[in-house]
């Protein structure tokens, strides 16, 4: 991972993740840590093969994994705040699709080269009153302190899925997005938010092109 990406992680709060050490969770694809490790494996594979795959190739590898391990519906809903309930179902579906494409494009653009990085799963917390728990991990970097990522996950139809990520245990992706999206929604509703997400995805591709 280039130093520029490390700085983005620190400044933006997320991107938002091998020689990843195999853990017990890898033998149990129903374990809470399995979703996180599947995601990490894909990121590292993309980084190792980044140049050969190209931007679109990395997106193609990430899309099914992101759909499998992230609860994109919950992430889009929470990020949209009170504006979500005001949207027709068709607009909600379009927001989820645009949010997913933006998420995949962001990862494809930023995790594109390998320099010995390794994700390590540390532990998981007990479930809270709502059944949510945290999977705590770190990203080991050459010559730099590790970066901590805490994944908030919950059960969706019998599968554990990620619905928020905290950088260094404090910076919530959803909180950041909600603050950003509230301004966009106030300006032009779901139509404006969808256009905003498509613009961000296009910019990720352009910056990586």
pLDDT, residue 19, reads 31
Packing angle of the helix pair 32-48, 89-110 (nearest 10 deg): 50
Range of the domain at 162: 3-207
Q: How many helices (H) and strands (E) does the chain have?
A: 6, 5
Region 86-113: mean pLDDT is: 96
Q: Is the pLDDT of residue 10 over 60?
A: no
What local confidence, expressed as pLDDT, does residue 168 receive? 82
Which of 100, 74, 94, 81 has the alpha carbon at shortest distance from 185? 81
pLDDT averaged over the chain?
87
Residue 187, C-beta contacts closer than 8 angstroms, at least 6 positions apart: none
Domain total for the chain? 1
Instruction: Tokens for 66, please give them.
Output: 């992101």
pLDDT digits (tens, 9 = 90+) for 31-81: 889 999 999 999 999 999 999 999 999 999 999 999 999 999 999 999 999
The CATH number covering residue 97 comes to: 3.10.450.710
Note the pLDDT tens digit of each residue in 146-170.
999 999 999 999 999 999 999 887 8
**Structure confidence at residue 38 (pLDDT):** 96
In the chain, the percentage of residues whose pLDDT exceeds 90 is 77
């Amino acid at each position: 991972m280039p130093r520029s990406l490390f700085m983005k992680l620190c400044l933006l709060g997320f991107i938002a993740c091998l020689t990843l050490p195999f853990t017990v969770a890898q033998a149990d694809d129903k374990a809470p840590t399995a979703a996180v490790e599947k995601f990490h494996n894909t990121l590292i594979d993309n980084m190792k093969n980044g140049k050969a795959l190209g931007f679109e190739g990395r997106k193609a590898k990430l899309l099914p994994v992101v759909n499998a391990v992230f609860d994109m519906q919950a992430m889009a809903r929470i990020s949209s705040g009170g504006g979500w309930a005001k949207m027709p179902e068709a607009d909600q579906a379009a927001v989820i699709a645009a949010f997913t494409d933006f998420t995949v494009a962001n990862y494809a653009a930023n995790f594109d080269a390998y320099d010995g990085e390794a994700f390590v799963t540390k532990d998981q917390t007990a479930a809270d009153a709502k059944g949510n728990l945290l999977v705590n991990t770190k990203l080991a970097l050459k010559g730099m302190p590790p970066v901590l990522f805490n994944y908030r996950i919950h059960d969706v139809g019998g599968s554990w899925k990620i619905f928020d990520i905290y950088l260094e245990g404090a910076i919530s992706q959803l909180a950041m997005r909600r603050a950003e999206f509230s301004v966009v929604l106030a300006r032009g509703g779901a139509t404006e938010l969808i256009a905003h997400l498509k613009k961000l995805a296009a910019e990720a591709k352009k910056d990586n092109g």
